[in-house]
Chain A
Amino acid sequence: MIAAYLVLLIPLIGIVYFTLAGHKTDTGKLNIKFNGICLLATIWLAVNVLNQGRIISSNEAFLIDPFNVYLIVLTAFVGFTTSIFSSPYMAHEKEIGKLSDQRLKLYYSMFQGFMLAMYLVLTTNNMGIMWVAMEGATLATVLLVSLYRTPESIEAAWKYFILCGVGIAQALFGTILLYYAAVQIGDGENALLWSVLYENADKLNPEILEIAFVFLLIGYGTKIGLVPLHNWLPDAHSEGPTPMSAVLSGLLLNDALYAVVRNKMLVDGATGSNMAGFLMMGFGLLSFLVAAILLHRQKDIKRLFSYSSIEHMGLMTFAFGIGGPLATFAALLHMTVHSLTKSAIFVTVGHAAQLAGTQKIDQIRGLIKTQPRIGWGLLIGTIAIAGFPPFGVFTSEFLVLLATMHSYPWLAPLLLLDIGIAFAGLFRHIQPMVYGIPPKDQQAIKANLWPVIIHLALVLWLGLAIPDFLANWFSQATLLISGSTPL
């Protein structure tokens, strides 16, 4: 359990330290160290869970089980590699005069603040605290979206703040209804603990929980970026600094989905029907369809990939909605591979945008000629996210498709068509950016592509063979969520 406290304590120290010490030349490196130590702590935590199974703290405030432990490690890992990318990236932004020391101080302390909120969402056992931490993540990132203080970035941040704030208020109403159902079966102060609720799920009033789930899905769904609540997402991703886009896409969306699934487990237990699943399927499929079509109309490279995030989150929500063991397993795997791939892509996109000096797709040309590593990184990343074998995204999408064919065969052609549309939407933009003729004075820049290489290698590995311990966690989590194992 010490490991879990350590995971929360390190970012907290980070916030305090960065706020008090101000920005120095080595702050970026220090940020890497903080995230690195945190990654080690999460690995320690994971080893504990591997040896002992589910861990619950003595006051029942924290709960680590196979469902959240891999997300915790993933969060720490993506946080670590993004901080490696962000250090030279932000230094470059300062060199070209886009940011001051004051803003960088804000950036680094809020980076740690965001990580703290993410760890708290994942580790807490209390549904109320989960909401508080989720809102905390919005509050930590909202000033980072407007970090450049351009009119566009302020508009994006305002939209993000209002939409996510109002959206997540719905989730609080859902949580209150959940609590209302829980106090009816007794136990006031502990009634919001997930472990207690899960054990007594069949006693909770199903009608109230159904209403509660609608609010919870709308609330956390705003954060997942489900259509039609997705409006803030492309704006926030495109106007904020790129490392922020990487963690928003890779971590925040995942954690919001995690919150929905935790709640779905309770609702399923109470209602005994798949009502929650149907809602998730509907929203998921709609997001998947709309985002894939909108991919074709984008002119900004970061907006392009944020729509791709909406599309993939839609697919995951859909898969969790189907709810069988196969679909759940696929969704868990997809959460992992999407998060790794998408953060790798945003890192490459950040370099590409610095190289070309713009985020406009039709002005980024010939990456592979000017700087082959960036060009190849973008190309391979896109191939991976579009779902080509042998990458992990292919495996998970294939499993989702299999599960769909098994449960709802009439939806399978729609999914296939949509994957095709999304593929075309990505490649019509990526192809000229990578292969086109570079502008005359385009110079190579200093770029650290190690995070990209490591992420994509991991995705490749997951596509070829899932390591035993991970497969074991996925099956245990599947057992927890869907009630039976896929293997």
Chain B
Amino acid sequence: MKILGKITILLCGSLLLFFTSDFPDFGDANSPASLHLSPYFIEHTLEDTAVPNVVTSVLADYRGYDTMFETTVILTAGLACFLLLRIPKRAVKNRYYLHEPTGVTLRFEGDKYPQESDVFKRIDSSWVPYDIIINFTCRLLIHFIQIFALYVVAHGHHSPGGGFQGGVVLGASVILFAISGNLRAAIKRFGEKTAALFSATGVFIYAGTAALCMVLGENFIDYAALAPILGSDRIMARSHGIFIVEIGVAVAVMAVMIWIYYNLSSAGKQDEGL
């Protein structure tokens, strides 16, 4: 079976290599790919949408329908991880507590464990000693990461960036918090329900804006329909519409990244984990 697999791969690979000889050269400006559609996008992006970043305007306007489903793909992954992995907390059998005055670690089985206590501190079963340097550094960094993320989201019209990139950076900041401290502290600040609701809301901002354009009498996702609401001309309305959906994308991507991390790192218990 394995030999068969190797032979298939070898055949497939040599076939693919053989066919590369007909490709246009790397960097060839006269290949069909660069001549048929793409000049339109580059030359008309400013007059159509007033967005200088062509990738953003193609992503969220010309091919905005793709991007709406792309955001939905992310949500689907979040929902899938939740559906597959999540198990209720009471399935946790053992809990470990550190008795801080003495430094003794105790294991509690079943339901009997100190709920709110000044002397007992919950620790993970595979416990790594708490490191104040890492924790402090990360807490310092997180603010700057988040501000940068907001910049990336907001400046997607004029520089590389946009909702996906900014959303991932935002999500990473919360994940960094969870890694540097522990999962429970992160869940306390950004709960699972919040993550789930945010991820649905983010995609809803996108799809809702798109559907609103339809209700206002234009085609689906045609942001020009928003002009009367936004109080601008039809071209600027496209630019603003792109910005609105980018925010939706950022919210969705951030929340789903965090949600997937919570479920994967704790094997669905959302109690302890890396």
Q: Do A and B come from one complex?
A: no
